[in-house]
Amino acid sequence: MDIYSDKTLISSIKQNDQKALELLYEKYFYSLCNFAFNFVKNAEVSEEIVSDIFLNIWLKRDVLDIKSNCKSYLFIAVKNQSLNHLNKNKVKFEALEILDKTGHITEKSAHSKLYYGELEKEIEQILLELPTQRRIIFKLNRIDGLKYIEIAKILSISVNTVQKQMTEAVKFLASYRPQLKTSLTNGIFTLFYIIF
Amino acid sequence: MNKNAFFELVTKVLSGEASPAEKKLFDSYMFDQEYRNLYEYVKKEWHREIRHPEKKFEFAKSLEKLRAKIKKAEQAKENTSIIKMPVFKTIGYVAAAVILLLTVGFLGKTLLFNENASKQTHFLSYKTQRGERKLIELPDGSKVYLNAETSIRYPSDFSGNVRNINLTGEAFFEVKREDIRRPFSVHSADVTTTVLGTSFNISAFPDKDAHITVATGKVKVANQLDNKRVILTKGEQAIYDKSGLHKTTVDVSAYTDWRNGILRFDGIPLDKAIGQMERWYDVTIEYDSTLLDRSIRGIYKNESLRQVLEDMQFMLELKYEFVNDSLIVIRE
C-alpha cells in the first residue's frame, strides 16, 4: 500500500488527483483517528476531525505549502483541530497539564501486575497502564514511526521531555520481565539487585 | 552506569534515535551478559506487534463521507464565482448594479458556450469585501443584507418552483411571501435553510460553525449530510457544528444588529469577537492563544476600531498595538 511516498502523493494532489488524496487518507486514517481519539475520546468526532483535515487539504491544494514533512503536518493538524474541538465544547485536555511531570509506576499498575502474575499480558493492556501523555508519545514513536523531534513539535513539548517519557515507557515494559514479579514497587532497581 | 542512563541508551537504540557515539557505548555494554539479557527482553517487548484498536474506526465509511464532503464543497465553490470590486465600494450602488448587469452578460455568454450548462439560467454573484456591508434585492423582491466578506449566488430570475440561493458568510434575509408558495432555500456549508416567507439571519463562514437565527416566521433547517432537520420559529436558532445540527433559543438582536451598523459582542469568546472585528474593520488582528479563554461583551454603533480596542484594553486588561493601519497585535 505504501508504494507511493507522501511527497509523490502531495504533488499528485496538487495536480488535482483526488485518488492521491484518498491514498494518503487511507495511509494515515487509523493513525490519525487514534491520535485524535486521545484528545476527544469519541470515535465519530475523531473521524470527523480527520476527514475535515483532508477535505481542507483538497480544497486548499493550490496553495498547499507543507513545510515540514507531510506526516508531522497531519498530526499537528489533528492535534490543533482536536484541541479546538475541546475548546469549543469547553473541555480541558487534562493530559497536557501533566506534561512535564515524570511519573513513576503507580500503585494501580503495580497491583495489576501482581494480579496478572506470569500470564503474558497483551501489549495493548500494558500500554493502557501508562499515563496518557506517555502512552501518546510511545505510540507516536513505536507505531507511527515518528522521530523524537517530530513528536516534540507535534505536542509542543521539548525533545528532552519526549526522551524522558520514552525512557520511562521502556522501563515500564522492562518491569514486566518475569524475574521481577516478586518485587514491584522497587521496580528496575530491584532487578539490578537480583542480577548482581 | 546507572539504570536510568542504561535505559535511556536502550530506548534511543530501539527508537532509532541513538547517535553513532551512543551506539558505540551501547555496543560496549552488550559484552556484559546481564545487560544483554535485559536488552534482549526489552527488545522483544518493543517489537511485539502493537495494533491500533482499529475496530472503533471505519475507513470505508469515512472515505465515502470524505468524498461526499469534497463533492459538496466543490459545488459550492463553483457556485460562488467571485467578483472582486473593492474600487467600487465607494462609488456605491449604481456602479455595483452596472457590474452586476455586466456579470449577467458575461455569465450568459459563458453559459452559451458551455454545452453542459442547464438551460438558460443566469446566475448572479456578489461578494462583499472586508469592512463592506451591502443590501441586495432579489428578483422576487426579497431583500438580503450581506455582512462583510460574504458571497452570494442566485439566479437572475426565479422561474422554477423553487427559489435557490447559495451563501458563504453572513446575511440577513427578508423573504417575500408569495401567493404561489414557492419555497425559498438558502444553501450554506452543509445546511439548507428553507422558508416560505419570513426573516432570518444566516452566519456560515468557512471553517466556522454555522448559525441560523429566525427573526420572524418559520424556518426549516436541514443537514444535507445526515438529513437531520430542525424547525425554527421566532427567537430560535440552529447551530451547525462538527457534531451536527442543534436547536437553541437566543436573543435575536444579538445576531441581527449588524445590519444596523451595530457591532455586538454578546459575551462571546475573544477569538470570535476578533474574527468579527477583522471582517468589520478590514484589519488583521494577531493575538496570543493564552487569551482564548476570555469572553467579551459590548455594543458599538458606528464606533471606530480604536474605540473598540480601547474598550477591550480596559475590560479585558489587554494591550493592543497598531503595527500598521491594517495589522494590530493584542497581548496580555
Residue ranges of domains in chain B: 3-47, 69-255, 261-331
Q: Return the pLDDT at A104.
A: 39
Q: B118-144 pLDDT, tens per residue?
A: 445 567 888 888 888 888 888 888 889
* Whole-Å CA distances, B52 to A34, A57, A78, A136, A154: 7, 25, 17, 12, 19
In this predicted structure, the answer to whether residue A4 has a pLDDT above a threshold of 90 is no
Residue ranges of domains in chain A: 6-92, 97-195
Q: Which residues of B touch A52 (CB under 8 A)?
A: 69, 242
Q: B2-37 pLDDT, tens per residue?
A: 677 889 999 999 988 999 999 999 988 888 888 888
User: Percent of chain B scored above 70 by pLDDT?
Assistant: 83
Q: Does A25 touch chain B (CB under 8 A)?
A: yes
Give the global pTM: 0.46
* Whole-Å CA distances, B57 to A52, A150, B294: 15, 25, 35
Residue B262 burial by CB count (10 A; 0-12/13-18/19+): exposed, middle or buried?
A: middle
Q: Please give the CATH number for the structural domain made up of A6-92.
A: 1.10.1740.10
User: Percent of chain A scored above 90 by pLDDT?
Assistant: 30
In this predicted structure, the answer to whether residue A167 has a pLDDT above a threshold of 90 is yes
Looking at per-residue confidence, does A41 or B49 come out higher?
Answer: A41
| A97-195 shares the fold of A6-92 | no
Looking at per-residue confidence, does B202 or A8 come out higher?
Answer: B202
Q: A29-76 pLDDT, tens per residue?
A: 999 999 999 888 889 999 999 999 999 999 888 887 776 688 888 999
Q: A143-164 pLDDT, tens per residue?
A: 888 999 999 988 888 899 999 9
Question: The C-alpha cell of B11 is what?
Answer: 530506548
In this predicted structure, the answer to whether residue B66 has a pLDDT above a threshold of 90 is yes
Listed residue (A85, A75, A66) closest to A7, CA to CA: A66
Q: A79-129 pLDDT, tens per residue?
A: 999 988 888 776 655 544 444 343 333 333 444 444 443 345 567 778 888
Q: B221-280 pLDDT, tens per residue?
A: 988 777 788 889 888 999 988 888 889 988 888 888 888 888 888 888 888 888 888 888
CA angle B288, B209, B66 (to 5 degrees): 110
Q: Nearest chain A residue to B42 by CA: give it.
A: A174
Q: Does A31 touch chain B (CB under 8 A)?
A: yes
- Give the one of A85, A167, A173 whose C-beta lies nearest to B46's C-beta: A173
Residues in A 99-158 with any Cβ partner in B closer than 8 A: 123-124, 127, 139, 141-143, 147-148
Contact A167 B58 (CB under 8 A): no
Q: Which architecture does CATH list for B69-255?
A: Sandwich (2.60)
Give A123-177 as a DSSP string.
HHHHHHTS-HHHHHHHHHHHTT---HHHHHHHHT--HHHHHHHHHHHHHHHHTT-
Contact A29 B51 (CB under 8 A): no
Question: The C-alpha cell of B163 is what?
Answer: 427559489
Q: Return the pLDDT at A132.
A: 85
Q: Does A190 touch chain B (CB under 8 A)?
A: no
Fold annotation for A97-195: Arc Repressor Mutant, subunit A (1.10.10)
| B261-331 shares the fold of B69-255 | no
In this predicted structure, the answer to whether residue A179 has a pLDDT above a threshold of 70 is no
Average pLDDT over all residues of chain B: 80
The domain B261-331 is classified under which CATH number: 3.55.50.30, 2.30.30.40, 3.40.800.10, 3.40.50.300?
3.55.50.30
Q: Return the pLDDT at A11.
A: 83
User: Percent of chain A scored above 70 by pLDDT?
Assistant: 71
